[in-house]
Amino acid sequence: MAQISLTLPDGNSRSYDAGVTPADVAADISNSLRKKAISATVNGQHWDLQWPIHEDSSIALHTMKDEEQALELVRHDLAHIMARAVQEIWPDVQVTIGPVIKDGWYYDFDRKDPFVPEDLALIEKKMKEIINKRDEVTTEIWERDKAIQYYKDRGEPYKVELIESIPGDEPLRMYWHGDWQDLCRGPHLQNTGQVPADGFRLMSIAGAYWRGDSDRPMLQRIYGAAFTNKEGLRKHLNMLEEAAKRDHRKLGKEMDLFHMQEEAPGQVFWHPNGWTVYTELQDYMRRRQRAGGYQEVNTPQVVDRKLWEQSGHWDKYQEHMFIVEVDEEHAREKAVNALKPMNCPCHVQVYNQGLKSYRDLPLRMAEFGSCNRYEPSGALHGIMRVRGFTQDDGHIFCREDQIESETAEFIRFLSTVYKDLGFENFSVKFSDRPEKRAGSDEVWDKAEAALLAATRAAGIEPTLNPGEGAFYGPKLEFVLTDAIGRDWQCGTHQVDFVLPERLDATYVGEDGSKHRPVMLHRATLGSFERFIGILIEEHAGKLPFWLAPRQVVVATIISDADDYANEVVAALKAAGVRAETDLRNEKINYKVREHSHGKVPVILAIGAREVEEKTVSVRRLGENKTSVTSLDEIVTELAKSATPPDRL
């Protein structure tokens, strides 16, 4: 039998017969490793212990201490164990797919009667019984015809359709967890007992169309969360509990910021308090962009389809666009327009007005551009995922030799904005060419190389996010981590050689000839709606004082203090602080509770002593203690706190 060489992580090599499995290798190294091994990485691929190796390879064996691999296996096995449990309880249920997702897994089922929340406890109990059985997990390779017939015989049409949609005629892998079987690429653990029975929880039930197609059957999806131990699950559940307290929809209602309603799905009705936050943030960004050399523009909301066809958006993005048909002066054929889903083609139109010279570049153009994109109703989520939104959008028209310096300058700009808004750290993802794209491979090679080199020159080594670039160019994604550990992708920066070509943007070079500019698409916050939602949840509603919509409430303890309360509010307003009185005939404790619930940062209480001494009693949100200070001192202090960070 042919021999192969396997190279271990320490650089040592061992010879084995071709077809050796990672389980064999683990047993050869030590009996202890044989018992602890759960999977392997072979030539960079996650590998089941049962899979044979037929060629010289690198190999690393994993145990439950290897968090990344262990989590993938535990979550993947739990998807199968849950599906088995469901079919053991309700044999008529048909199974579809059950992938691993962030923090856990889900599985989609076709069941005549809907699942109810009480079913989750029943399924969990059955899952733990399966885990305790320590049933062996085995795998086989089947020919396609055999697999199709097997599922037809078992009345599993969804599995038949999945197999028929897999391209090529390659054999298929089957897995058994005990006597329950599923079509699966693997890898998996070696027995059901390796799954920590106290490390998972079934979380929720939702609807999901088969293969995401609204014309196909509606399935029932069960979500689960899983970790390698009880402590990991506990931390996750605590995080979810904290996230629920910070939910921007809940806090938005408590703070009277906004509302949504069925008559305008995915659109925000901003209330005065919410619009104050919005405009303060927008004014801050406007000042920062002006200081950064951006020229602000404003472009139309409704644009003829001809421009979208020319730019490529009509072909690549039409399913997300709102189409507007207009009967132009009763013409025989209606004019077809679209609400703009992004601003870039319109910015090229502004650039194209008048001749541009190499001396004019870089030209930095910015717009608080209102955009509309169709999102399925099931994907909408408060103000985080909407159909109508405003971007702090910008486009930099530059020469190729300016890509590096402009990228570095934008990263510096974005870093200082995030720091001003309370986010000291962020990570960067590099998203390369998607499957559906415009432009030649040669152009994409050049764009990807330029953006990656510029990012590294700025001192950042991004992580790869394969296939997630825009259809016209690669992009950087800037990811914030909030106070409870959640990641939010906000800013973007993209290199685009395609749109300037398609929309005929040019400049006159130093040689007197016409050249194509490079277009850098950039956004710092992304959409204002989503970023405000992130800020609300990051700060649990306790927004930085300069952004808080209601900064100070001056609450009277006695009616004789009303005149002085009005005097205090006038002084605060004159100093640039948003202040209001509460002169109601209510007890001060009631007023404090009410305004604290509304997340007012500072409450100034005024009674007889404060009137006599020209002082105020200060109570800050989240603090139980109060302090007494003079009117002049509190006005000076709060005026400074109310100053936006770029003006300090």
Return all residues near 178 (Cβ < 8 A) that are at least 6 apart. Answer: 84, 130, 133, 135, 136, 192
| Residue 390 bridge partners (DSSP) | 370
Angle, alpha carbons 520-268-468 (nearest 5°): 35
Residues comprising the binding site for Zn(2+)?
A: 344, 395, 521
Rounded to the nearest 10 degrees, how much is the dihedral formed by the CA atoms of 374, 380, 385, 388?
40
Binding residues, as ranges, are: 344, 395, 521
Amino acid occupying residue 95: V
Please say if 188 is a catalytic residue. no
Residue 364: strand pairing partners: 294, 396
Catalytically annotated residue among 69, 94, 190, 391:
391
Of 344, 346, 398, 490, catalytic: 344
Give me the residue label for tokens 């800020």. Answer: 535
Instruction: Please tell me whether residue 6 adopts helix, strand or coil conformation.
Output: strand
Burial class (CB in 10 A: 0-12, 13-18, 19+), 542: middle
DSSP codes, 441-488: HHHHHHHHHHHHHHHHHTT--PEE-TT-SBTTB-EEEEEEE-TTS-EE
249 is catalytic: no
SS3 (DSSP) at 75: helix
Report residue 474 as tokens: 């690669």
Q: Which residues of 89-121 are buried (b: 16+ CB within 10 A; e: fewer)?
A: ebeebbbbbbebeebbbbbbbbeeeebeeebbe
Examine the residue annotation and report whether 398 is marked as an active-site residue of this protein: no
Name residue 62's beta-bridge partners. 39
**Beta strand extents in 187-272 (DSSP E only):** 200-209, 218-226, 258-259, 269-270
Which residue among the candidates 62, 177, 395, 595 is catalytic per the annotation? 395
Catalytic, out of 126, 173, 373, 599: 373
Q: CB burial class (10 A; 0-12, 13-18, 19+) of residue 555?
A: buried
Between the two ends of the chain, the Cα-to-Cα distance in Å is: 76
344 tagged catalytic: yes
Structure tokens belonging to residue 366: 């910015």
Answer yes or no: 373 catalytic: yes
Active-site amino acid positions = 344, 373, 391, 393, 395, 475, 521
